Structure 1
Amino acid sequence: MQDPQPTILSLDVGDVLLGRYRLERIIGLGGMGAVWLAADITLDHTVAIKVLPAVLSRDKRAAARLKEEARRNLALTHPHIVRLHTFEQDPARADAAFLVMQYIEGHTLNDLLADHPGGLPLEEVEPWAEQIAAAIDFAHAKGILHRDIKPGNIIIEASTGLAYLMDFGIACEARDTMTRVTGQQDSSGTLPYMSPQQLMGRNHSSNDIYSFAATLYEALCGEPPFTTGDIAYQIREVAPEPPAGVVSELSAALLAGLAKQVEDRPSSCHALLSGAARSTVAPPGAAGPAHLARKQVEFAPGVVAEFVYIDAPTVAPDGFLMGSPASEEDRHDIEVQHRVKLTRGYWMQTTEVTQDQWTAVMGSNPSRF
């Protein structure tokens, strides 16, 4: 079959697209196109330009689909998402299709892991994990999926250390369109980071949560959950090993994100990190309920109980003053201040009780309490 992208490498340094974007050097190259550092001559600033495979440019329906996907992505204005400026085609170059994007000078997480094959320390991973989680959840709230979250699509800015998520949906749409146009089979995503549902072609926000968990797993351990053998089979059927050298609470959160079934994964990337956060927030040796979740357990045939888990770290036993000081205005006689000593620890919820939590535990409407 003919090479689906014969014109990508024929572009040269100094070429100007649409009379506006002067190509300076290639900064990325993959199956779905070449990424160039370019100068926007009109606005006098630096941009990144992704030139898509020529076969997509020549197909009007394919180009229209990519243009529509790009239009949807214009809604993704977030501090940790690489901004898409526009989708263009250059009639002087056989309608070559390209994306004009924000340029972030830095290194991808994939590059950083190449220099740290055993994984990165938690304190280094934690800030960008929170930033990328916020970006993914923001996109999901807009009804937009990424579909290819992986270390290669996360860039850490050199000057600030801030993390950005790249290629939001565009690369996957290009792959899907390439399959339709050329007949060459491909998948939306990168295999080691794909959920069982994504392997089957089912689009769901939980696919991104799985991919985010697999990316965090690799960031901390140096490799994704499955790396050898029949990876697709393992993703569908084999439980991943707990990440080596990772504290139990964080390990449990990652494994929850890598659950085979959608309903067993956290509902958002923020929820995944909320479970992981207990590894750094809870006091040493503390054991308490997890974030709000429900699980049914059969104690005996026909007898089923439902457990509700709520985020509530332990508080060590101590003393405190109860009552009001004598100097307090309008103090009642029964409010004499006295010291109370607690001899046993207790759990204290990290947030106020929500209606959902009250209903889950009490089975009633809290407004009627």
Structure 2
Amino acid sequence: MKFTYSSGQRPLDGFTLKRGIGRGGFGEVYFAVSDGGKEVALKLVRGDTQIELRGVAQCLNLKHPNLVNLYDLRTDHHGDRWVVMEYIAGEPLNVILNRHPNGLPRELAREWFLGLARAVAYLHDHGIVHRDLKPANIFLENGMVKVGDYGLSKAIGSSQRTAQTHSVGTVHYMAPEISTGNYGKQIDTYAAGIILYEMLTGRVPFDGESSGEILMKHLTTPPDLSQIPTEYLPVLSKALAKNPSQRYASMTEMARAVEAIEAGGAAS
């Protein structure tokens, strides 16, 4: 994996880069240490930055134990934009799921889902739709769920139809209504339902040979709930409804439904 900068460089005043830790469509992420000794992640934002940076700016003041904290938005002497954020040493959920092809222990799936739901409910309460919930954006650090990459999110009700929206989200987790340009908070409820399904079974409910095939299944195919533990059937039936108005009215409501599944019942 080739990065623009190498260890020891200081492209952004106040920080020394230690190593590159990730690359994506929106730029590069580095592990760095501030001059004051604080470990941080620095995201170099590339490409069409307007949407990303507007989302980041909205999220700078959000603080929740289940969110990866965004500390600052800075510009270097080249004019490149950087996001200064919390460094998470823990693994992403997709890596953990790869080690559990038949799903996680039910009590663990329940606990981690509730951490995810609390983070997303907090974003929604502040007018933010995550829009890109998937296991690769959910981290486990010291047993604590941390939801990241919500800088892609937009304010609820802001301009929806842009070319950028088509690259937002991963098809396995995309709600049916995204195909019509609807990016309400219900898309996060649907994605959270897919993630809960995957944590319980080890697989996603809709798969296929192409993005188009998977998207069509989101639109038309009922999810196969035959491998889902009985106590989770009502929750997933509702969360994965094709019609957003038939899903949970809020992430808080969905979390309450999962909380109501007794720890003893969930572990059986």
Deviation by residue 1:284-321 (Cα, 9 ceiling, x = unmatched): xxxxxxxxxxxxxxxxxxxxxxxxxxxxxxxxxxxxxx
Give the Cα separation in 2 of the matches to 1:219 and 1:21: 37
Residue in 1 that maps onto 2:74: 88
The 5 Å alignment of 1:356-367 reads none
The 5 Å alignment of 1:56-67 reads 56=48, 62-63=49-50, 65-67=51-53
**Which residue identity lines up with residue 87 of structure 1 in the other structure?**
L
Which of 246, 252, 255 does residue 237 from structure 2 map onto? 255
Residue in 2 that maps onto 1:140: 124
Residue in 2 that maps onto 1:225: 205
**Which residue identity lines up with residue 234 of structure 1 in the other structure?**
K
Contact kept in structure 1, 2:52 and 2:151, CA below 8 Å = no
Residue 119 (str. 1) matches residue 103 (str. 2)? yes
Higher mean C-alpha displacement, 79-88 vs 197-206: 197-206
**Which residue identity lines up with residue 19 of structure 2 in the other structure?**
R
Deviation by residue 1:29-61 (Cα, 9 ceiling, x = unmatched): 2222221111111x32100111122x34xxxxx
Contact kept in structure 2, 1:249 and 1:275, CA below 8 Å = no
TM, length-normalised to structure 2: 0.87
Residue 198 (str. 1) matches residue 181 (str. 2)? no
Contact kept in structure 1, 2:132 and 2:152, CA below 8 Å = no
Per the alignment, in what secondary structure is the counterpart of residue 17 of structure 1? coil
**Which residue identity lines up with residue 149 of structure 2 in the other structure?**
D
Contact kept in structure 2, 1:86 and 1:99, CA below 8 Å = yes
**Residues 1:122 and 1:281: Cα distance change in structure 2 (over 3 Å):** closer
**Residues 1:80 and 1:185: Cα distance change in structure 2 (over 3 Å):** closer
Give the Cα separation in 1 of the matches to 2:231 and 2:183: 29
Give the Cα separation in 2 of the matches to 1:220 and 1:85: 34
Higher mean C-alpha displacement, 138-147 vs 268-277: 268-277
Which of 33, 38, 43 does residue 32 from structure 2 map onto? 38
**Residues 1:169 and 1:199: Cα distance change in structure 2 (over 3 Å):** farther
Which of 1, 4, 7 does residue 10 from structure 1 map onto? 4
**Which residue identity lines up with residue 46 of structure 1 in the other structure?**
E
TM, length-normalised to structure 1: 0.64
Give the Cα separation in 2 of the matches to 1:154 and 1:127: 13
Deviation at 1:122, TM superposition (A): 0.8
The 5 Å alignment of 1:203-214 reads 203-214=183-194
Per the alignment, in what secondary structure is the counterpart of residue 9 of structure 1? coil
Higher mean C-alpha displacement, 21-30 vs 76-85: 21-30
Deviation at 1:137, TM superposition (A): 0.6
Residue 48 (str. 1) matches residue 28 (str. 2)? no
Per the alignment, in what secondary structure is the counterpart of residue 61 of structure 2? coil
Deviation at 1:168, TM superposition (A): 0.9
Give the Cα separation in 2 of the matches to 1:45 and 1:184: 34
Give the Cα separation in 2 of the matches to 1:125 and 1:247: 12
Contact kept in structure 1, 2:45 and 2:82, CA below 8 Å = yes
Structure 1 or 2, whichever has the larger Rg, is 1
**Residues 1:44 and 1:82: Cα distance change in structure 2 (over 3 Å):** same
Residue in 1 that maps onto 2:221: 238
Residue in 2 that maps onto 1:269: 251
**Which residue identity lines up with residue 191 of structure 1 in the other structure?**
V
Deviation by residue 1:208-230 (Cα, 9 ceiling, x = unmatched): 00011111111111111111141
Which of 58, 63, 68 does residue 77 from structure 1 map onto? 63
Give the Cα separation in 2 of the matches to 1:184 and 1:267: 27
Give the Cα separation in 2 of the matches to 1:279 and 1:18: 48
Deviation at 1:185, TM superposition (A): 8.3
Per the alignment, in what secondary structure is the counterpart of residue 98 of structure 1? strand
Residue in 2 that maps onto 1:311: none
Mark the runs of 5 or more structure 2 residues left unpaired by the alignment: 156-160
Mark the runs of 5 or more structure 1 residues left unpaired by the alignment: 1-7, 57-61, 174-178, 284-369
Give the Cα separation in 1 of the matches to 2:165 and 2:71: 30
**Which residue identity lines up with residue 187 of structure 1 in the other structure?**
S
Deviation at 1:126, TM superposition (A): 1.7
Deviation at 1:14, TM superposition (A): 1.6
Per the alignment, in what secondary structure is the counterpart of residue 169 of structure 1? helix
Per the alignment, in what secondary structure is the counterpart of residue 85 of structure 2? strand
